[in-house]
Amino acid sequence: MRRIRITVSYDGTEYHGWQVQPGLATIQASLEGVLSEIEGDQIEGSVHVDGSGRTDAGVHALAQVAAFDLTNPIPLPNLKKAINRLLPRDIRVLETAEAHEGFHPRYDATAKSYEYRILRAEICPPFDRRYVYHYPYPLDEARMIQVARLLEGEHDFSAFAASDPADGLGRSKVRRIFSSCLTRDGDLLIYRVRGTGFLKHMVRNIVGVLLEAGKGNLGPADIEARLQPGCTIPAGPSAPARGLFLVGVEYQK
């Protein structure tokens, strides 16, 4: 049995997120269906694909990492070609590699990076509408840039996380953010964040809070209050999924 690691890029517009859901189109289900066909198994989804994380419905990925077990001895370059030939055109495998037997793309990851794109132009070109959040209204961008930095470091991000079925397990919501910054690139306001891991809807909720700061509704003290242990401020507001991209996942060399 071979353990294969792949890097996947996808346009998440037409999908209900990464995770398999009965009767719904998902990235994981698309990959598992194709790989089961390559494996020669008549049972759809017989090849299980582990992902580095569960992107939400409508979220995109530049470089998602996934892994699966395969008995088929097909060489890696041919495997990549075969997968891409069978996948829909909005999902593409960029790289294939042999991995060690116990490799797990989620639990072995040391850092992940996300990017959120806000279009500040008056008009959103129709070809960009799936990949940005169009917000042409006044914002104090300097304030947003200032408060984005406050998220760096190790904090309890409970106030930035959507409710999750796993909450009952009592898992920690403390995460370390290595960098959190907002920059202007032409008409795009881009939020980039890199950390050890992220909670459900965490990046979208961060962006929503940054937008509230830009509107003048929140200040630095409000952001710091949300980072205090035991904070009971409800999460949100959440920015739309279409502006969010998983940029990359890092592992130890």
> Percent of the chain beyond pLDDT 90?
88
214 class by beta-carbon count within 10 Å (0-12 exposed, 13-18 middle, 19+ buried): buried
For 222: left if phi > 0, alpha if psi spans -120 to 50, otherwise beta; the answer is alpha
pLDDT for the residue numbered 198:
95
Q: What is the mean pLDDT of the chain?
A: 94
Q: What is the pLDDT of residues 189-225, one digit of tens each?
A: 999 999 999 999 999 999 999 999 999 999 999 999 9
Q: Report DSSP state, residue 187.
A: T
**Which pLDDT does position 45 carry in this prediction?**
59
Quick: pLDDT tens for 21-45. 999 999 999 999 999 999 986 555 5
User: Which pTM was predicted?
Assistant: 0.93
pLDDT tens digit sequence for 162-192:
877 666 666 888 999 999 999 999 999 999 9
> Distance (Å, rounded) from C-alpha 44 to C-alpha 29?
9
Residue 204 and residue 242 in contact, taking contact as beta carbons nearer than 8 Å: no
Instruction: Give the amino acid at 250.
Output: E
At residue 229 the predicted structure's pLDDT band, cuts being 50, 70 and 90, is confident
Which residues lie closer than 8 Å to 27 by C-beta, 6 or more apart? 8, 10, 12, 15, 17, 18, 51, 55, 61, 64, 91
Q: Which of 198, 199, 183, 186 is nearest to 146 (CA)?
A: 183
Among 62, 63, 65, 59, CA closest to 204: 59
Question: Does the pLDDT at position 253 exceed 90?
Answer: no
Share of the chain above pLDDT 70, in %: 96
The pair of three-digit structure tokens given for residue 5, joined into one six-digit string: 């690691």
Encoding tokens for residue 234?
Answer: 């409800």
The pLDDT of residue 163 is 77
The pLDDT assigned to 46 comes to 86
Separation in Å, CA 243 to CA 124, 139, 142? 13, 17, 20
Which domains, from first to last, does the chain contain?
Answer: 2-99 (3.30.70.580), 110-251 (3.30.70.660)
What angle in degrees, to the nearest 10, is found between the helix axes of 27-39 and 76-86?
A: 120
d(CA 228, CA 98): 42
pLDDT of residue 197: 93
Residue 212 phi/psi, 5-degree rounding, is -65, -35
DSSP category for residue 139: -
pLDDT, residue 231, reads 85
pLDDT digits (tens, 9 = 90+) for 46-64: 899 999 999 999 999 999 9
Catalytic positions, written as ranges:
56
pLDDT of residue 40: 86
At 52 the pLDDT is 96
Over residues 69-74, mean pLDDT: 94
pLDDT at 138 over 60: yes
More confident residue, 138 or 168: 138
